[in-house]
Structure 1
Amino acid sequence: MRPHVFVDETRSGGFLLAAAAVASGRLNEARQAIKGLILPGQRSIHFCKKRDDRRRILGVIRSLDVQVVIYNATRYGHVKLARDASLAGLVTDAAKIDAERLVFELDDSVLKADRSLLREKVRSAGVESRLRYDHMRSHEECLLSIPDAVAWSWARGAEWRAGVRPVVTDLREV
């Protein structure tokens, strides 16, 4: 089953992009688990807000069949360069694992540039007929909370990294 890859970033302490791959046959199970963490009155889980239950959320994420790759672009002095390098690496890796879909957390400020770069990279990887990509808000696709939580935790240092290390399968310097 071809994976779907959910993508989010953090700019805290430099640019990190987290890409969480979930096999298509596991999507419903993963969505149920994540939706079960959304509190009454909330539309989604977002790690930048103060939450007392972060460790419980990370425990649920660790229980899922998910593999996360972190693209570390902190060496770039400009966010656009960091993002472009990370997206280029992501598309290359998505082609290698025969991903079916990339789903990005929607950021209106970079949407046009993302689409242009993704179109170019998907075409150059030769997967334009097999790999589709979408930009969505976190309340539209709850699995975007996985890369959000992992990127946030990774950027916060050793204590929080330990909570996500079991699902992080690779750290790529781009």
Structure 2
Amino acid sequence: MSAHAFVDESARNRQFLLCVTLVEPAHLRPTRRALTELLLRGARELHFKKEKEPRRRQLIDQMAKMSVSVRMYTGSCSPKTEEAVRQQCLRQMAEDLLAVGAHRLVLDTRNERDAHDHRTLWQTLGSRPSKTELTYEHLDSTLEPILWISDAVAWCFGAGGGWAQRVAGLIDAHIKL
């Protein structure tokens, strides 16, 4: 699979969620266009936490029609261990992306905390730079619409109940660490 991966996270109820949306190169442009068309007038991004409930349902229904697949990485955490659990999830995700031949990884920026991700990814990918074509970068979610899918799915999964059921069809794999 020659895919691009887009990552966002959520932490809820002592659980860390790292959500990865995979998109094949041929579907990048139509997926971005479809997501941008979902923006309300004057909005620069979709941020699921800020949306009202009826709009959340509408957004998830539209995202479910897109040519994407989603993987969820989860681990138990406390506020003190959240960063360590994120890095554990990120390490496993990077290994999995290498296994499927992914080429590009985009992570929603956390500004100064991006350094933790750089260190983990360098440790995971750095020993084989000539053997893998996986590149990565951190971007603000206003610059990459596909990050909005990961944000929405992570929010729904973390909310549980009907919201988790609503996104179950989008999630191809749930990896518990």
TM-score normalised by the chain length of structure 1: 0.94
Question: Quick check: 1:69 aligned with 2:64?
Answer: no
Q: Which moved more, 1:12-21 or 1:74-83?
A: 74-83
Whole-Å Cα distance in 1 between the matches of residues 109 and 170 of structure 2? Answer: 23
Shift of 1:119: 1.2
Question: Quick check: 1:34 aligned with 2:35?
Answer: yes
Structure 2: gaps spanning 5 or more residues: none
Q: Which moved more, 1:59-68 or 1:117-126?
A: 117-126
Conserved? CA contact 1:106–1:136, under 8 Å: yes
Report SS of the residue matched to 2:146: helix
Whole-Å Cα distance in 2 between the matches of residues 87 and 144 of structure 1? Answer: 16
Letter in 2 for 1:4: H
Conserved? CA contact 1:5–1:22, under 8 Å: yes
Deviations 1:116-165 (A, max 9, x none): 11111112466664000010011100110000000000000120011111
Distance 1:43 1:5, change over 3 A: same
Q: Which moved more, 1:75-84 or 1:95-104?
A: 75-84
Conserved? CA contact 1:7–1:103, under 8 Å: yes
Report SS of the residue matched to 1:38: coil
Deviations 1:13-42 (A, max 9, x none): 221000010001100110111001011111
Letter in 1 for 2:73: Y
Shift of 1:61: 0.9
1:21 matched residue in structure 2:
22
Shift of 1:60: 1.1
TM-score normalised by the chain length of structure 2: 0.92
2:107 matched residue in structure 1:
104
Structure 1: gaps spanning 5 or more residues: none
Question: Quick check: 1:6 aligned with 2:1?
Answer: no
Q: CA RMSD in A?
A: 1.6
Whole-Å Cα distance in 2 between the matches of residues 124 and 67 of structure 1? Answer: 28
Whole-Å Cα distance in 2 between the matches of residues 150 and 33 of structure 1? Answer: 16
Whole-Å Cα distance in 2 between the matches of residues 75 and 108 of structure 1? Answer: 21
Shift of 1:58: 0.4
Aligned sequence identity (%): 29
Shift of 1:101: 0.5
Conserved? CA contact 2:109–2:140, under 8 Å: yes
Match for residue 94 of structure 2 among 78, 91, 95: 91
